Structure 1
Amino acid sequence: MSFDRNVQTVRPPSNWTEIWHLWTVIVPRRSINGQLVYGKVWRRHDGRDWIYKKFTEFDGEEAA
């Protein structure tokens, strides 16, 4: 009898995989003016990979 070690067990996703959190990303390169490139994104783990979404800030005064 042989076992396939490449088979992954299927588990239900954890609750923490459904939570989006704000993450600061620093890209290891410099912009045209010599500064590091960085920004904020929404990030969550789907149980296998990280999923990223664009983060758009808004001014609270403009929304009122």
Structure 2
Amino acid sequence: MSLDRNVRTVGPQASWTEIWHLWTVFVPRRSINGQLVYGKVWRRHDGRDWIYKKFTEYDSEAAA
């Protein structure tokens, strides 16, 4: 019997995998004016890969 080491088994997920984290991302390129490109995203691990969502900031005074 041979074992296939490329097969990943997904065991029970840790509790932290269900939590979205606010993450700052740096893109490895520069903008038109020469500055680094960066931004904030929501990030969560699904047990196998990272999932990213767009983070949109809002003005708390304008929302009230």
TM-score clears 0.5: yes
Which category describes the TM-score, using the shorter chain as reference length? 0.7 to 0.9
| 1:58 aligned residue | 58
- How far apart, in 2, do the equivalents of 1:10 and 1:21 lie? 22
Listed as ranges, the gaps of 5+ residues in structure 2 are none
**Matching residue of 1:12:** 12
Give the root-mean-square deviation of aligned CA atoms: 1.2
**Identity level (%):** 78
Q: Is the 8 A contact 2:17 2:46 kept in 1?
A: yes
Compute the TM-score of the two structures, normalised by the length of structure 2. 0.88
- TM-score w.r.t. the length of structure 1 is 0.88
- State the SS of the aligned residue for 2:2: coil
Question: Partner residue of 1:41?
Answer: 41
**Alignment coverage as a number of residue pairs:** 63
